[in-house]
Copies of this chain bind each other. A is one copy, B any other.
Amino acid sequence: MPLGDHRYGKSDIRVVKLERGPERHELRDLTVRVMLEGEYDAVHTDGDNTGLVATDTMRNVVYALAAERTLDSLPDFARALVDHFLAHPSVTGALAHISAHPWQRLPGDEAHAWQRGTGGTRIEEVRADPGGMGHSAGIEDLLLLRSSGSAFEGFDRDRFTTLPETDDRILATVVTARWDYAGGAGDLEAVWARVRDTLLDAFTDHHSPSVQFTLYRMGEAVVERHPEVERIHLSLPNRHHLPVDVARFGVDDRREVFHATTEPFGLIEATVERH
């Protein structure tokens, strides 16, 4: 039965590149897809994999080239990927497709901290029951990332522990916060944006030895600076960014290339309260 058009590749390769300049970091957050066409009829019809580039290898090439090249130009990076695969004797066509996710620098640390999007979704909630009325507010879908000043060391080790200690990691999270206002707190319309700004500020104003410490710092800052707020509950998933060992590919490893993961994720939750 005739085999018609065929192609294959690797999709959803998540690459975060941190270019470590002397003054500031540059951040590129990409999702890459590579698709190849080639002389692979026998792969399909005879089960003969000779000459077939494994899709796992494609992923490795994306990481390796992201590490050894500047990403100043995404068109050039896409072109370099295509050129790489076209050089393979079995490959007759190649496609590199890059999605670049937008991040904005945070005012509190323009060199090493970002948010994605525009400040998250605002929540306002009023509830009443026979015991009285309460007002709370919150924020959801606030993506934040720090590329400096974050460590994780000194934790417990047993036979199930394989995580190495690190004094320098990417800290990325999606903030969900919920805070309760004190009774009679007055005009609350303007408070939300001020609390949000405090959260952004306190995310970066300290050395972070753990997500827990940063969470507490954020909550403490909100309760300290905003007398309207009685307590705040924060839920910070730890969106792990795993350093890619590019030295395996013969590339100088400057710890600039990361694999951004979504599952599993750490989840840190706590309440900080005035009383």
**A-side interface residues toward B, CB under 8 Å?**
1-14, 33, 35, 37, 40, 43-45, 47-57, 59-61, 64, 72-79, 81-82, 86, 88, 90, 92-102, 104, 117-130, 133, 135, 137, 140, 152-156, 158-163, 187-189, 207, 209-213, 215-216, 219-220, 223-224, 231, 233, 237-238, 248-250, 262-275
Complex contacts, A92 vs chain B, CB 8 Å: 129-130
Q: How far is the CA of A231 from the CA of B118 in the complex (A)?
A: 31
Q: How far is the CA of A118 from the CA of B114 in the complex (A)?
A: 13
Known A44-B216, A122-B100: A155·B8 in contact at CB below 8 Å = no
Are A160 and B64 touching (Cβ within 8 A)? yes
Are B49 and A154 touching (Cβ within 8 A)? yes
Write the nearest CB–CB distance from A222 to chain B, whole angstroms.
Answer: 9
| This chain: copies in complex | 4
Write the nearest CB–CB distance from A3 to chain B, whole angstroms.
Answer: 6
Q: How far is the CA of A35 from the CA of B126 in the complex (A)?
A: 11
Are A122 and B135 touching (Cβ within 8 A)? no
Are B43 and A75 touching (Cβ within 8 A)? no
Write the nearest CB–CB distance from A36 to chain B, whole angstroms.
Answer: 10
Q: How far is the CA of A13 from the CA of B262 in the complex (A)?
A: 10
Are B158 and A57 touching (Cβ within 8 A)? yes
Complex contacts, A272 vs chain B, CB 8 Å: 1-4
